[in-house]
Chains A and B, each alone.
Chain A
Amino acid sequence: MNNFQRDCCELLAERFRNGKLDRRGFLTGLVALGAATVAAPGARAAGQELVVVNWGGDAIDAYSAAFAEAYEAATGNKLKIDGSGPLEGSMKTQFESNSVRWDVCDAEPYSAIRLGREGMMEKIDYSIVDRSKIEPGFDGEFYVPSYFYSNVITYDAARFGDDAPSTWGDFWNMEKYPGKRTLYKWMTGVLEAALLADGVAPAELYPLDVDRALAKIEVLKPHIVSFWSSGAESQQLLRDGEASMGLLWHTRANLTKQDTEGEVDWTFDQGLVSPSGWTVIKGNPAGLKAAMEFIALAQNPDNQVTLLNELGNGPANPAAHALVSEEMKPVDASSKENLERQIVLQAEWYADHYGTALDKYLALVSS
């Protein structure tokens, strides 16, 4: 479901292998992703184990080897990384079979809300997690933002650079901006993009009119070369010119811009931004307190800035924005300036409607 986190781990590992990232940067990036941690506040019973689940991939072995020892030295506790990915179905399975293996999950906020309502997730303990270190308005009952990412308009600048597209209306405008398009297979952001293109005002997006959005997507469908399902695929489509425009994660959009030396460009204008969320399944093995302490630890602004520098993920802690370099400011998805240009995806709506809407969306996509 949240392929974005998986994508981040893949990117970090790739940069590390290519020598674009030193070991220290690699490890710090993993810390910020919740893939590893170097220090934890407070002492707990020695020998305890904390399992953090993310979307793993290549990075798992490297950070397990590098950080297990350091974490143990700092806290007396073992740290274990599970890269199997907290899909909603997987979290539900663990809860229902009474065999919860994960202490902290980096999951979609709407999954946390939905499972939370069904009584499967712990409420966030704000006496341990610091509310002031969360972007205002994003302090969820069942999740805390880990970082922000955005779904942005990415385009062939060699073709459209003189009069660049900046709205989803432009994205749907085949006469002014000819060429194939690519959209995200797992829907998030796509319905909003379609409604904005159809003239719905940003403030009136929610609740989403799914049928209207799908009708708008259907219009574009003959021009869609692919509904991408991995970050690498979305990048390839733009880099090879198979698509002249796409809805991409801003991290991949920015990488494509660097790879093509600006022949592909992107904008935060009308970007559809969302946090990823730390969440805890009820009955987690290390206990609620240990899980909350880990989340509090992950709020450290330094780590969050590292993550921005290495991957482009926007800090969840507003204090981090002040530490961002001039060079990285245009990429910072959650800075005040960039947030104002974007529209926030509403996790609550997705919690209520994700399943039914996705069924309809996939039916359209595959018809």
Chain B
Amino acid sequence: MAARLNIHTIAMWLLPALFLAVYLAPLLGVFGWSVSRPEPGAENYVRMLTDADALNIMLRTARVCILVTGISVLLAYLMAYHWVFGSPARKLFMELCIFIPFWISVLIRAFGWVVILRNKGILNETLLSIGAITEPLTLVRTELSVILGMVHFLVPFAVFPIASVMRQIDSRVLLASRGMGANPAFTFWNVFLPLTIPGVLASVIIVFVFALGFFITPAILGGGKIVMIAEYIYIQMFQTSNWGFGAALSIGVLAVVAAMAGLLFRVIRPERLVK
């Protein structure tokens, strides 16, 4: 009995110890860099908030992430609706749309978009051959193609929390609304939508946090022109060896992510989503 208790106690402490060793310690190291390199002080943070070039990259990252989040969640809402309330055939179709992309690597998907969107790509060739356009459209290597690629990757992640909340809605509430004379549009806006808001918020936060860390997709589909914060941090670490500044940027991103996570726990109960 005593031995079992010991093992139990060790196991209890192992997880926090592991967390400290592999997560918190390096994190403190990174924070240490951000206030000690090249000189001790808050200089890196000052630069982060005042350097026009760095601010531009942060603004672009924010804009792309907000757009991607908006589009992804909107699409996910529609997909989740059909997945939860659709006919069996439609449900199956939605499941394929959600799960098949999961099995294809992010790299392959990015190159797939290049193949479709480039000048001699499938889309342009098709449009040219049917005479819809006379000159190939510039589709790839633009912010548009980056957003497309990111949305493609992130939609499935946005579907789950929304679908989970939709599944928990008591259909009798909707029936009651209809029974009291509300038309479908009124029922949707005033009953159904408010009930799904926790799922939507969870989606927004999950997709935004994911989008913030995107590296490969903007690098491939952006034609080098869409440098986002993750790549910028990589550049500071490996190309220009500005470790202090890179560390400060990392801490900045972490702060945003932490704030979003805090919000997630405040406005909704995450455990509800996985029921």
Task: Name A's B-contacting residues (CB within 8 A).
Answer: 1, 87-90, 92, 185-186, 224-229, 240-242, 354-355, 358-360, 362-363, 365-367
Contact = CB atoms under 8 A, between A and B. Distances in A.
Interface in B189-239: 219, 223-227, 232, 235, 237-239
B223 A354 contact: no
A1 B223 contact: no
Given A240-B118, A240-B119, A366-B227, A226 B239 contact: no
B238 A89 contact: yes
A72 to B, nearest CB: 33
Nearest to A118: B241
Contacts of B235: 358, 362
9 contacts: A1-B238, A88-B238, A226-B224, A242-B118, A242-B119, A355-B240, A358-B239, A359-B53, A365-B227
B112 to A, nearest CB: 15
A365 B118 contact: no
Contacts of B242: 355
A90 B238 contact: yes
Contacts of A225: 138, 141, 223
B238 A87 contact: yes
Given A240-B119, A242-B119, A226 B238 contact: no
A366 B239 contact: no
A261 B100 CA distance: 41
Nearest to A187: B239
A50 to B, nearest CB: 25
Contacts of B237: 89
A360 B227 CA distance: 12
B223 A355 contact: no
Interface string B148-170: 00000000000000000000000
A359 B240 contact: yes
Given A186-B239, A242-B119, A363-B57, 18 more contacts: A87-B239, A88-B240, A225-B138, A227-B223, A227-B224, A227-B225, A241-B120, A355-B240, A355-B241, A355-B242, A359-B53, A359-B54, A359-B240, A362-B53, A363-B56, A365-B227, A366-B56, A366-B225
A367 B224 contact: no
| Most A C-beta atoms less than 10 A away, residue of B223, B237, B238 | B223
Contacts of B141: 225-226
Contacts of A363: 52-54, 56-57
Nearest to A358: B240
